[in-house]
Amino acid sequence: MNGKNAALLHDTVTCPVHGTNRIIESDISAYEENGRGIVLHGFKTECGSMVIASSQDMEIG
């Protein structure tokens, strides 16, 4: 997607307050890879922060 890989469940992200955390929410019904669902804008991380999408113009399906 625009030259970047999609984020998947349990990928790591960096929170400016809490440091490195894993993503704990995903949508396996939209897309999955090796049993790991795709992560969308607003999904939660281990520290309670939300994922901020770097691309808003992609389509699934």
Is 61 contained in some domain? no
45: Cβ contacts below 8 Å, ≥ 6 apart: 13, 15, 21, 22, 23, 24, 51
Number of domains composing the chain: 1
pTM for the whole thing?
Answer: 0.83
- What is the pLDDT, as a whole number, of residue 3? 72
**Domain presence at residue 59:** no
Determine, yes or no, domain membership for 18: yes
Question: Residues with Cβ < 8 Å from 33, sequence gap 6 or more?
Answer: 8
Range of the domain at 42: 1-53
Print pLDDT tens along the chain (61 aa).
Answer: 567 788 999 999 999 999 999 999 999 998 899 999 999 999 999 999 999 988 776 666 5
The answer to the question of residue 30 being in a domain is yes
17 belongs to a structural domain: yes
User: What pLDDT sits at residue 2?
Assistant: 63
